Every structure is written in structure tokens, then in C-alpha cells.
Structure 1
Amino acid sequence: MARDSVKRRGESAKPAPPKAEAPREKTRTNDPDRTRANIIAVATHEFSEKGLSGARIDEIAERTHTSKRMIYYYFESKEGLYRAVLEDCYRRIRTIESTLDLKTKPPLEALAQLVRFTFDYQLANPDFIRMVMVENIHHGEHIAQLPSLQTTNLDAIDSLRDIVARGVAEGVMRKDIDPIDLHMSISALCFFNVGNRHTFSTIFKVDMTTPAASAARRESVTDMILRSVAP
């Protein structure tokens, strides 16, 4: 009996097995590319809505759950972040544009597809339009400091040059078409639908924002461009 009592006392003296630890909350991994992309995405909205002078790094830092120090680490300055946003805006549209495979299509079909793509992209990405407008307020000062954009945007002209050359060879386009002028016309007509829709709608009492109005305008712009290149 005494031995049993001693044994029981010994057993009770043993330390209790350790409790299972609660699963730790996953910590955010250090992902510079994701952090940089997130900052650019938020800054795009800020700059497009408030311009270069009106946007605040404090607000961008708060919305990205990062710090001013981190933003300056990646972009050096507010102007550096603005230029990164501007470059990203142009890079995105040109990257998608390069996937259209226009070279495999008949020239008029390729041109129509390009016009419709430009119209749809600008309608879906008003921040791009506003960023272009902001940079024009600054007389292109910052875009002039981004030589990579020269190459990026020249690719768009080369694509049009190929379409025009094939169109002339097939006799479905005029011989005197300037690809840069054609690009300007496409951009201007598609740009107006987003950049001027509020003032135009208010002045002339028309609603340019409905799906039906957008679809009709899309085909009208496409038709105007195709007619403008006809021999």
C-alpha cells in the first residue's frame, strides 16, 4: 500500500504534457515585386484623380499599408513614383495590344480590330486617360524622361505601318496614309469618348455612359477610321 502511494505520488509529480501551440498567424512574406506593383496600382488612382501636385505620399502609404520610407526606397521621390505610374500605364496598353496578332488578319479587319481594342481599353481604363491628361498639363515633362516609352510606343506605329503597307498592296487603302497621323486619329476619337463624356453629356443632354451608347459610338469610330483610309 505504501509503495502504491509513493508510486501514485511520483506519477502525479510528473510534468503535464505540453499543450499544443495554437497555429501562428502567417506573416507576410517579403515580396518586393508585389509591394511595388501594389504601390503603383494605388498611386495610379491617386495621381489620375488628384494630379501630381494634389496626390499625397502619406495617403498612398496608408492605402498600401506600407510607409513613406518604403515608397521612397522603391521610387526615390514623389516625381519618381509618378513617372513609374506613367510608364506602367503605357506599358500595359502596349503589352495587351501586342497580343492582338494583327499581322495574320486582312488589313481592314486588322485595323478595325485595333480601333475596337483601343476604344474598349480606354473605356475600361479611365485612369489611363486621366494620366495622359495630367501629363499634358505638365507639357510632357516627365514622359520625356522615360526613353523606354519611346520604344514602347513606336511598336504601335510599326504595327500600323505594317497594316497600311499591306492595305496599299491589296488596293484597299490609300497610298498617302501616314501611320503616325492614323494613330493620332484613332487615339483622338477613342480618347474623346472618355475624356469629354461628362462635359459633352451635360452640354448636349445625352448620356454617353450607357452600354448602348458606348457600343454605337464604338462602331461609329471604327467606321470613320475605315472610311478615312479608303482609296
Structure 2
Amino acid sequence: MVNKKTAPVDASSGAAAPAEPAGPRARDAERSQQALLAAAAAEFAEHGLGGARMDRIAERAGLNKRLIYYYYGNKDDLFLAVLEDAYRRIREAEQQLHLTDLDPPEAVRRLTAFTWDYYLKHPEFLTLLNSENLHRATHLQRSERVREMNSPLVQTLAEVLARGQRDGVFRGGVDPVQLYISIAGLAYFYQSNRHTLSAIFGRNLMAPKACSERLSHITDVVLGYLLRD
């Protein structure tokens, strides 16, 4: 979070001097924070929370290390800011799917495909979550923003499920949180364990054909559970 500075005082009158135009300075601050978040995300994804170094983050961002402490305080608070930013990005991307405008089965199919593809394109998201789970979500437990960001997704899924039930295509009694965890988990486990799974089964499970088959399988599993006979 940006520290708020008091307005300068006019020594001759003791009154606060007129504030300088905030526009360009605010934009510079925002650019600096975004550069630091991007650099920190790469550093945390590569080295984990324990192995990440503030000097490397500053070097990646091309900024003075003091700015990290100025904007974020310490490494743990910076890690939380990175997690919040990562969740913001995926939740905003999900909103662009406009799931409530789609036929319920198509909405679930679209969300499943989006989740799979997002994890493929943003492997750093998975590694950040792995790191936070190692720390028992001690950072996310401090964040009200993350809970607020996830509420619209749960509400959207609840609306899709209710409409599907009214239309007679979905079974009733489905918890939207459990459904999303299943969708995310089926994609997350496969991708986060791709190296070990490929080794023990002797197959390249990240080959394009294997990835296509996996998405098809996940979609069939999820819709097979939801659709009424």
C-alpha cells in the first residue's frame, strides 16, 4: 500500500502549501508498484517465499530496493500483495466469460476450459499457491480482499446452477464452492504434478494431444456429475 504523505507547509504562513498535481506522480507510483508485483511474482514462483530475495526483486523490476519497503513494508506483506494480485487477475478474466448469459451446461463447459487454459498459460499462479499452502495460507488468512474477490464467482456459479436446475438439466443440491473446487482441482493436480505423473506413467502428459484429452476428460467428469439422466 502506498504511504500517504502530508502536504508541505508554507513556512511563511504556517498553512499547508497547495498540493502538487497528483496525476503524473500517481501514475508513476502505480507503474512502479505493478513492476514490483510482476518482478516479485516471478521471484516467488521461482524461489518460493523463503528463497526469494528483495534485492533480486528490485533488480528484476529495475527499481530501487527501498521502494519495496516503501510500498509493501516487508517480504511477507509483499508476498500477500502478489497473491492478491494473482487472484485479482484470474477473477477479472473469469468475469469476461459472462457465464450468466450462457446456457447452463455451456457456462460450466466454458468455465472448465477457461480454468484449464489459464493454469496452462500462468504456471506461476500454481507455484504461488503451492508456496502459500506450504505456509498453511497464513498470508491469505489476513486478506479480506481475496474473500471479496471470490464472492462474485461463487454467486455466479450459484446462479448458473439454479437456472440449470430450473431448466431441468442439472441435478439439485450442488454446492457452488464444491463444484468450483472440483473444476480447479482436476486441472490443478494434473498440471502441478505433471513431472512426477509423466515419469511414473512413462508418458508426456503435457504433450498437446494429452492436454486436449485431459480437458475433454475433466469436462465429461464435471458435466457427467451435473447433468440429469
Partner in structure 2 of residue 78 of structure 1:
75
How many residues are aligned here? Answer: 203
What secondary structure, in the 3-state scheme, does the structure 2 residue paired with 1:221 have?
helix
Match in the other structure for 2:93: 96
* Distance of 1:49 and 1:181 partners within structure 2: 30
Counterpart of 1:8 in structure 2 is none
SS at match of 2:138: coil
In the TM superposition, 1:1-231 aligns within 5 A as 31-231=28-228
Aligned partner of 1:152: which letter? M
Q: Is the 8 A contact 2:116 2:187 kept in 1?
A: yes
Aligned counterparts of 2:190 and 2:123: Cα–Cα separation in 1: 10
Query: In 1, distance between residues paired with 2:70 and 2:190?
Result: 38
Alpha-carbon deviations, 1:110-137, whole Å to 9, x = none?
1100100011001110000111111111
Alpha carbons 2:39, 2:58 under 8 Å: kept:
no
Unaligned runs of 5+ residues in structure 1 are 1-28
Contact residue 205 and residue 211 of structure 2 kept, 8 A:
yes
State the match for 1:21 in structure 2. Answer: none
Please tell me whether the aligned partners of residues 174 and 229 of structure 1 are also in contact (alpha carbons under 8 angstroms).
Answer: yes
Question: Structure 1 length normalisation: TM-score?
Answer: 0.85
Cα RMSD (Å): 1.1
CA contact (8 A) 2:41 2:82 kept: yes
Structure showing greater Rg: 1
How far apart, in 2, do the equivalents of 1:45 and 1:38 lie? 11
Unpaired stretches in structure 2, ≥5 consecutive residues: 1-23
Q: CA deviation at 1:192?
A: 1.6
State TM-score, norm by structure 2. 0.86
Per-residue deviation at 1:39?
0.8
